Each structure stands twice: as C-alpha cells, then as structure tokens.
Amino acid sequence: MTDEVILRVKDLRTYFSTDEGIVKAVDGVSFELRKGETLGIVGESGSGKSVTNLSIINMIPSPPGKIAGGEILFMGEDLLKMPAKDIRRIRGNKISMIFQDPMTSLNPFLRISSQMTETIVLHQGLDKQAAKAKAIEMLRLAGIPAPEKRIDQYPHQFSGGMRQRVMIAMSLSCNPEILIADEPTSALDVTIQAQILDLMKDLTARLGTAVILITHSLGVVAGMCDTLCVMYAGRVVERGATEALFAAPMHPYTQGLIKSVPRLDVAATGERLSSIRGQPPNVIDLPDCCPFYPRCDKAMEVCRRKYPPSVDFGASGGPVAKGHTASCWLYSEAK
C-alpha cells in the first residue's frame, strides 16, 4: 500500500426517480482509495453500498437512476464525464467487479473459456490462443485444479465456490487497478467463504490490486480491510482505519453494529445480544436531519434539525486514528 490515491469519490449523489418520489440512494458520499489498499464498505441493506459502486463504473440502470452530482476521479480522470465508449475500456480492464451470486453471474450458454477470453481479447488485444493461455494461467492462480481441462466446461459443471473462483480469475485477468467485490461471499456456504476471501486477499496482494469490498459482515472486513467506510441511509457516517474503527467506534451506529456481533472473546454472561432497535429509514424525501436519530440512544434536539458535519479525530488520537472521521453531533461544537 502506497500513498498514491487512484480513486477519489467526491460528494457522489445517485438518485432514483420512482413513483413515490426521488430515492436518494447515495447522497454525498466521499472516499479515497489508495493503490493496493483494501477498502471495506459496510452497512445495512439499502444503505447505498452497491449503488455507490455501480456508480463508480457508471452502471446505474438509467432510467430510473441518475447520478445527480459529484465527481469520481480515477487516475485523475472524471469517470462521470467520460463517454460510454471510453468507460467500456475501463470496465473489466482497469476496474472490474465480482458479483454476489456466482450461480447467476456466468452465462449458462457459454463455455468458461469463451467468457474469459472475451474479456482478455477485448482489453489486452491478445489473439485467441494467447488469451486462452492467459485465462488458464489465471484459473490456476485462482486455485482451480486441472484448469486446462476445466476451462472448456460450462458454468453448470462448477460448484458455487468454484464459480466464484472463476469470477475472481476473470475479473483479475486484465490486471485491473481496482477490484470491486460486491458481497462476494454472501451466496456461498461458510466453509467456502474463508477460502474465497483468502484467495482474494492473496491474489490482490500479489497483483497490487486495490479492492473495494462491500459486505454486511463485520467479521469479513475485520480480516480483510485496511480502511473502512460505514454507510447509513446513503451517506458515509464513519470512516477510518479498520483497527481504529474497531478499537474506538465513534458514531453511535458503528458502536451499535459492533455491539450486535456475537463475540467469542467475551465470556458468555447469559445476556441477550444487543441490537439496534427500529428499522433503517426510507430514503425518499428524508428531511435534513441525522437519519439515524430515531434509532439512536444518544439523540439530541439538534439531531432532528440538521445533518451533522463530519468530525476528524486524527488530531486527537494516535497514528492509527489518522483520517478517522465520523458524522455525529456528539463530537461537533458547532451546534
């Protein structure tokens, strides 16, 4: 991990117009990704994690979706202003994605070889033979036994974990700068999850790929990520180095999330596992308030009036706290 920032998302806003009103799925998200860094994005369903990442490669279904504002700077270029043709050259080549369900993300009618070489031929300009050799090499790296034989098979001849390995091999085959993994292990059974995560960690470290890992699971991010973004109702509520965030969560939502994970290292006291009460809000026509206040134990009067500014804890804390920010009125003087 170096300090070179390859992706800078600034104040990204992605809205969906529906019959009920405008859904502000992503409302002012900013973060940075350094070369080789692994960034985790956690949050509940509907908090805007996936939409943020689809926005990055400009794949929001439009209509009804629309990127209403913000900038996405990839190596200094704004992806949002790029014509469709150029962005296709970035997708799969510089930024690639792994999807949640490996059972449906491979085309059932095409052999693995044609799906993999398709991408390699398109982006790297290799001929079919060379592309196939490269694909076999990638499958071997992804831990698929006898790849030169398996490559001619169809997706339904692979198990879920194997398919996810194929997806990983495919998405890394053009040596991308960034790999976006949208809940890559949610659809797999637990015995495979750890293997897949290890594989991703190992391969991306070897290839120097930066990873954006979207997940529900705090356990996954704790093991994988360098930095963490906690999203709630379309906004990043807390951001910081993984260690700092787990050691000293600042935002009440992050605290609630961490508390609601069962822990083995704390002796069982027979207490019930704590949970965050209530439901996440509907993001249609949300007033200018902290979206978390109805569920927050520490809510104050100001919380229902105005969205809190982001507070940087980097100055007060040690070196791990560098860049640790949270958006909460608890820490803000400007009430």
Q: Scan for tokens 């594989």, then name that residue.
A: 199
Does residue 149 touch another protein according to CB under 8 A? yes
Q: Specify whether the CB–CB gap between 52 and 231 falls below 8 A.
A: yes
Does residue 207 touch another protein according to CB under 8 A? no
Q: Residues binding another protein: what is the number (CB under 8 A)?
A: 39
Does residue 157 touch another protein according to CB under 8 A? yes
Does residue 146 touch another protein according to CB under 8 A? yes
Among 9, 51, 72, 97, binds another protein (CB under 8 A): 97
Among 145, 262, 270, 318, binds another protein (CB under 8 A): 145
Among 2, 18, 104, 316, binds another protein (CB under 8 A): 104
For the chain, the residue count is 335
Among 24, 49, 91, 132, binds another protein (CB under 8 A): 91
Give 113 or 242: the residue with its C-beta nearer to another protein.
Answer: 113
Does residue 57 touch another protein according to CB under 8 A? yes
The helix (run of H) or strand (run of E) holding residue 67 is strand 65-74
Does residue 49 touch another protein according to CB under 8 A? no
Dist. CA 92–CA 39, nearest whole Å: 19
DSSP string, 193-245: HHHHHHHHHHHHHHHT-EEEEEES-HHHHHHH-SEEEEEETTEEEEEEEHHHH
Six-digit token string for 219? 């356990």
Does residue 209 touch another protein according to CB under 8 A? no
Q: Specify whether the CB–CB gap between 166 and 110 falls below 8 A.
A: no
Among 29, 170, 178, 218, binds another protein (CB under 8 A): 170
Stretch that binds another protein, among 20-28, 82-90, 264-272, 307-315 (CB under 8 A): 82-90
**Residue 175, SS3?**
coil
Q: Which neighbouring-strand residues pair with 74?
A: 7, 77
Among 75, 122, 207, 247, binds another protein (CB under 8 A): 122
Q: Give the Å distances, CA to CA, from 257 to 111, 248, 296.
A: 42, 13, 12
> Rule CB under 8 A: which residues touch another protein?
57, 59, 61, 63, 88-93, 96-97, 99-101, 104-111, 118-119, 122-123, 145-146, 149-150, 152-154, 156-157, 167, 170-171
